[in-house]
Amino acid sequence: MPYRYNYCPHCEKKIVFKIELDDIDQSQYPAPAYIVHKDDSCGKLSTFYFDSLLRVSYKELEKRPGGIKTIDAESR
pLDDT of residue 2: 82
DSSP for 8-61, written as a single string: -TTT--EEEEE--GGGS-TTSSSEEEEEEE--TT---EEEEEE-TTS-EEEEES
Q: What pTM value is reported for the model?
A: 0.91
pLDDT, tens only, 19-76: 999 999 999 999 999 999 999 999 999 999 999 999 999 999 999 999 999 999 999 8
